[in-house]
Structure 1
Amino acid sequence: MSRTITVEGMSCDHCEQSVEEALSGVAGVTDARADRERDTAIVEGDADLAALVRAVEDVGYEASA
């Protein structure tokens, strides 16, 4: 399953990498791709949506589903 979440505050490649790593650490995630130009992250897998949002917020960005 693919989910798109909104991520605000990414401004560089490092930001995208931080978000992708945070999302990849959530149980059930098989792939995560962040896009700072669109303020989104696309997550593959069956992870809990609230866990995805928390993971992004834990590394300093704002997230919503």
Structure 2
Amino acid sequence: MREITVFDAVKQLDLNVFCEVMFGIVKDVAIQNELKEALQTEITEEALQQINEAALREGHQPLSCSG
């Protein structure tokens, strides 16, 4: 399984969850390049598995690793 980036992942979210995630990311960065860097961060297979387990517990669709 290839690693995906945060950007790959957020593109798969429904609008409400996307907005929550992006708001949190934007609050943590000071400049545009930091936002770009945050979105280019790779999510490991282990982290993706944890994200998907949490998503399923909360009734959301799991993320795909296809990017």
The question of a shared fold, defined as TM-score above 0.5 by the shorter chain, is answered with no
TM-score by length of 1: 0.34
Higher helix share: 2
Structure of higher CA gyration radius: 2
Greater relative contact order: 1 or 2 (C-alpha under 8 angstroms, separation 6 or more)?
Answer: 2
TM-score relative to the length of structure 2: 0.34
